[in-house]
Chain A
Amino acid sequence: MEPISRFRGKTVALAIPNIDTDQITPAKFTMVTDKVGLGRILFAHWRYRDAEKQIPNPDFPLNKPGAQGATILVAGDNFGCGSSREHAPWALVGYGLRAVVSTSFADIFRSNALKNGLLPIVVDPESHRQALREAEGNLEFVVDLPEQTLALASGRAVSFAIDPFAKRCLVQGVDELGYILSHERRIAEYERSR
């Protein structure tokens, strides 16, 4: 996993509330046994006129010339509801995104995103409206994970909350499994005690 600390990135707006994981990665295209290459199928039903042949839909925000190279997605409220399939963050990361900004995230999606180096950033409704406006124009934001701030293009700085443990893992680029494995003795004791 790539460590995340501070980065500047181009934005793209998808001002739709309640984007569910069946939109992020339609189930039909998730029949894979590995994680790589899923960037192609991101938002497949919206992004392509014909998803099988991958003929792009020029009206979709990600397909606009100005959005190319975007690393920060500003989405509508409650992003990531629906399935637990981790294909959703795999595809977002595979596409090149490093952060998603919304007013809230579904629990499983948030947890899956954090485990894949994708930062879910929750902001207040007013900052969200401004972020959406700026992202319509693909302006650049600065994400500072150690400081937990998101600086919009206009200079407005918004602080965001993040689980301190998840933050440590992201900044150091380490995963959680190592941490759980370090408790092996306790786990074995727990198993014996029951």
Chain B
Amino acid sequence: MPKTLFEKIWDDHVVTAEPECPAVLYIDLHLIHEMTSPQAFEGLRRRGLKVRRPDRTAATIDHIIQTTPERFQPQKDPRVAALLHSIEENCRAAGIRLYGVGDEQQGVVHVIGPELGLTQPGMTIVCGDSHTATHGAFGALAFGIGTTEVEHVLATQCLLQRKPKTFEVRVTGRLPQGVTAKDIILAVCAKVGIGGANGHVAEYRGDTIRALSMEERMTVCNMSIEFGARAGMIAPDDTTFRYLAGRPFAPKDFERFRRLRTDDGAAFDASIDIDAGRLEPMITYGTNPGMGMAIGASIPGDAPKKALEYMGFEAGKPLLGHSIDVVFIGSCTNSRLGDLRQAASVLKGRKVKVRTLIVPGSGPIKRAAEAEGLDKVFVEAGAEWREAGCSMCIAMNGDELKEGEICVATSNRNFEGRQGKGGRTILASPLTAAASAVEGRVADVRTYL
């Protein structure tokens, strides 16, 4: 029987499956962070259990930590201090590697896993974070879990799971100038809708996907959850192996991963097609990532009223040229070196008109960007260049919008208040965000290329 990539990895990891019960699925890599793990460790202590495989677990601090130099001072907010203390103590006691504040490798959990070579093809990977799908770019089955499940994995290295359905996203054709991986995935979200792929694992296929770099593939997989898919995956190939070769935890031999592809004739439960050649830079107009449109388009007449009321936008009107207050370039979707280079290509020799935050995804990315002089480009343009972290993707670390401000953001969520109470988010690519920073308005980057 021909199998999909998902089915191959799933079958490889079923420890046991009793009738009527979900499968006991083995987890190869468990990533944890400060926000969703304290209650899990507490649960273990209450039951008198130990962490079964600290060697298959890695931790970082990303959500709540400032991206300003303040982060290196003792924390003033007792809630922040308590969460930091909790993960440091829990990792120390269990013998889990922690890439904490001050560690050279520290960064957003979905950025550092691949960077360290911890993320590998064929693995099952979980993390108490819905954007765990990012790691699927390497041909892994990677998905977000809740804190109770974090506890399960800490205790047993296993999870109880019902087998999800499969969802094929076929992208073909050549991307036009100024259109990026972010625009592909925003177009997928717009087409499928916010909950359209609930219960499914997505696999991205087609020649457009094959031509993407690893960084771009991560951008695509990252937002799988935004149209309901719990995981998103891309079959590994030479691009994958070249990215991984030589990284600290990467395997030496890649040949065995070549079988990790969907067999000819394998069936998916659902399927969509995207013609990349016809895509344009995408932006969102509403309060979930599925409310997206081409940069030059008008807001659909049937857009939900509540969303438009919140955003202060009008149906039937375009957003291009609409004034903005802030630009945020960062997050596990778009904070890698390639994203920063793209932003710099637009900002070089220009000035930003609005507050612009540029936040690298990890310490190594920050250093690599500085080695190329990108930091100088940003600072000379008038942007803020920060330490690694989640920053303004999620309003819980000091970086947030003020009530009513509009932000063009390269992150993944435009929910009400996601970037701060009353803050309004327009999702876009780093190119679109940089062009918008220069104009102080929603801008079409194609006029800059």
Most A CB contacts (10 A, CB to CB) among B21, B198, B230 go to B198
Choose the segment among A27-35, A62-70, A138-146, A150-158 that binds chain B (4+ C-beta atoms closer than 8 Å). Answer: A27-35
Question: Whose C-beta in chain B lies nearest to the C-beta of A80?
Answer: B195
B160 and A179 contacting across the interface, CB-CB below 8 Å: yes
Residue B45 lies at the interface, judged by CB distance under 8 Å to chain A: no
Residue B158 lies at the interface, judged by CB distance under 8 Å to chain A: yes
- 0/1 string, B229-271, CB within 8 A of A gives 1: 0100000000000000000000000000000000000000000
Most A CB contacts (10 A, CB to CB) among B83, B86, B129, B194 go to B194
A1-46 with Cβ < 8 A to chain B = 16-18, 20, 22-23, 26-28, 30-35, 45
Residue B145 lies at the interface, judged by CB distance under 8 Å to chain A: yes
B14-51 with Cβ < 8 A to chain A = 15-16, 20-22, 24, 26, 35-36, 38-39, 42, 47
* Contact of A45 with B417 at beta-carbon distance under 8 Å, contacts A27-B395, A183-B24 already known: yes
Q: Number of contacting residues on A, CB 8 A?
A: 50
A32 and B230 contacting across the interface, CB-CB below 8 Å: no
Residues in B whose Cβ lies below 8 Å from that of A107: 164, 198-199, 228, 230
* Contact of A23 with B417 at beta-carbon distance under 8 Å, contacts A78-B195, A107-B228, A108-B146 already known: yes
Residue A172 lies at the interface, judged by CB distance under 8 Å to chain B: no
Question: Distance in Å from the Cβ of B402 to the closest Cβ of chain A?
Answer: 14
A32 and B288 contacting across the interface, CB-CB below 8 Å: no
Of the candidates B77, B288, B417, the one whose C-beta lies within 8 Å of that of A18 is B288
A176 and B152 contacting across the interface, CB-CB below 8 Å: yes
B80 and A186 contacting across the interface, CB-CB below 8 Å: no
* Contact of A112 with B148 at beta-carbon distance under 8 Å, contacts A164-B20, A176-B160 already known: yes
Residue B137 lies at the interface, judged by CB distance under 8 Å to chain A: no
Residues in A whose Cβ lies below 8 Å from that of B288: 18, 20, 81
Residue B142 lies at the interface, judged by CB distance under 8 Å to chain A: no
B174-228 with Cβ < 8 A to chain A = 194-195, 198-199, 225, 228
Residue B429 lies at the interface, judged by CB distance under 8 Å to chain A: no
Residue B155 lies at the interface, judged by CB distance under 8 Å to chain A: yes
Residue A111 lies at the interface, judged by CB distance under 8 Å to chain B: yes
A71-88 with Cβ < 8 A to chain B = 77-78, 81-86
Q: How large is the interface on B (under 10, 10 to 19, 20 to 34, 35 or more residues)?
A: 35 or more
B42 and A33 contacting across the interface, CB-CB below 8 Å: yes
B415 and A116 contacting across the interface, CB-CB below 8 Å: no
Residues in B whose Cβ lies below 8 Å from that of A18: 194-195, 288
- Taken together as a complex, chains A and B put the C-alpha atoms of A180 and B306 apart, in Å, by 44
Residues in A whose Cβ lies below 8 Å from that of B394: 27
B121-147 with Cβ < 8 A to chain A = 128-130, 132, 144-147
* Contact of A31 with B83 at beta-carbon distance under 8 Å, contacts A45-B416, A84-B36 already known: yes
Question: Distance in Å from the Cβ of B79 to the closest Cβ of chain A?
Answer: 4
- 0/1 string, B353-383, CB within 8 A of A gives 1: 0000000000000000000000000000000
- Known A-B contacts: A86-B147, A107-B228, A177-B151. Give 16 more (CB < 8 A): A22-B416, A26-B395, A27-B418, A31-B35, A77-B195, A82-B415, A86-B36, A105-B198, A107-B164, A107-B198, A108-B144, A108-B146, A115-B148, A176-B148, A180-B158, A187-B26
9 interchain residue pairs of minimum CB distance: A78-B195, A112-B146, A84-B144, A86-B146, A33-B38, A31-B79, A86-B147, A84-B130, A115-B148
Residues on A close to B: CB < 8 A?
Answer: 16-18, 20, 22-23, 26-28, 30-35, 45, 51, 77-78, 81-86, 89, 104-108, 111-112, 115-116, 163-165, 175-177, 179-181, 183-184, 186-187, 190-191
